[in-house]
Structure 1
Amino acid sequence: MINFTNLEYLKEGTIRQKEAYKVLNELNIIEDLEPYSPVLSGTIPINIDLPDSDLDVICYVSELNIFYQLLIHLYGEQPGFNIKSVIINDIESIVASFAYQDFPIEIFGQNIPTTRQNAYKHMIAEYMILKEKGDEFREQIIYLKSQGYKTEPAFARLLELDGDPYLSILQLHDKQFDI
């Protein structure tokens, strides 16, 4: 399995993954946010992205106010910069977004280790499914996404999962890793 906590895999990936690696390095995101265990999650790492897919960087943050101010300091001058504090699944979270070159970027912080955050768990479950199901399944996911489906609902539709697609994908992750 790919070590998604180390961005080196992007250097050998698709054109879009190589571009993502370059952008993350130009902005110094991984180094600047290193104390927060940043991980690129979402569709680009697992090669089911669309041309307008964003770079989702998740972080493990215990001091949300300090992180909030740091993001303003580091990226506040970037085009379209926006930052907010929100509650997601009863967990206080910081979400900053901005644009850089051809990428929308979102930086997300919660007081949960990055590899235990839902975004990471979704990505890992989807990666394992893609590995098992192959390229035709990957193309079907990309097609559904191009038709307006979000990632988890696209997986749920093709896998014929009932109920909340986000919860269903988390359950697949937890079952895979016996959590």
Structure 2
Amino acid sequence: MFLSIDYLEVGNKKQREVFDLLKRTGMMNRLSKYTPVLCGTIPIGIDIEGSDLDIILFVEELDFFEEEVKRLFVDREGFRIKRLNVRNVRVIKANFFAGGYEFELFGQPRPVTEQYAYLHMVIEHVLMKRIPGLKENVIKLKKSGVKTEPAFCQLLGIEGDPYEQLILYGKNNDII
């Protein structure tokens, strides 16, 4: 699920627009060796004004990836790149604008289907299918400034670190 962008082509207006942009820019093809997956709010239809396009990537050689991303995107508006440690994993994050959207590339040495962004998206997608009204309430909270995972946890009554607890909730409820 979500491993190809084809579902966007028949999605809502924003999803179709993003599909066209990704095709027009060749973004997924340019990054294909890293198994790119579009994650976040747009794929599951809970985006709000200003939502970015999060693309996660499986990157084993961070130095090579950093140089390649610079070569491919340094000329894009607002380009910036940095190395981070996220949950004790070294990652590279690059941001830039294209086609009216902010892109965030997030590369780490972990298969995309094991990355938190992907797991969160799958869990959130399933929960919105299972729980009537959840989607609308998440969007309402997001519009008030609450981030996505904290919004889900707030509505589900889940306490603690929302990024860790949402994964645990997904495992405990046979979602992932």
Is this a same-fold pair by TM over 0.5?
yes
Q: Which amino acid in structure 2 is aligned with residue 47 of structure 1?
A: G
Superposed, 1:102-121 pairs within 5 Å as 102-121=100-119
Give the unaligned 5+ runs of structure 1. Answer: none
CA distance in 2, matches of 1:11, 1:83: 30
Quick check: 2:123–2:175 contact (8 Å CA) kept in 1? no
Pick aligned residue for 1:60 from 58, 61, 79: 58
Residues 33-44 of structure 1: pairs in structure 2 closer than 5 A: 33-44=31-42
Q: Aligned Cα RMSD in Å?
A: 1.2
| Deviation digits for residues 96-142 of structure 1 (CA, Å, limit 9, x no counterpart) | 000112211100100000000011011111011011013x2211100
- Percent identity of paired positions between Structure 1 and Structure 2: 38
TM-score, normalising length: structure 2: 0.96
Amino acid at match of 2:80: N
State the match for 2:150 in structure 1: 153
**Equivalences for 1:161-172 in 2 at 5 Å?**
161-172=158-169
Please name the residue that 2:170 is paired with. 173
Deviation at 1:173, TM superposition (A): 2.4
Q: 5+ residue gaps in structure 2?
A: none
Q: How many residues align?
A: 176
* In structure 2, C-alpha distance between the alignment counterparts of 1:178 and 1:6, rounded to whole Å: 20
The question of 1:139 aligning with 2:143 is answered no
Aligned amino acid, residue 26 of structure 2: N
> Which range moves more in the overlay, 40-49 or 159-168?
159-168
Residue 91 of structure 2 aligns to which amino acid in structure 1? S
Instruction: Give the AA of the match of 1:12.
Output: V
Pairs within 5 Å for 1:48-127: 48-127=46-125
Note the C-alpha offset of 1:157.
Answer: 0.7
Quote the Cα distance in structure 2 between the aligned partners of 1:30 and 1:126. 23
Question: Runs ≥4 in structure 1, deviation > 3 angstroms?
Answer: 176-179
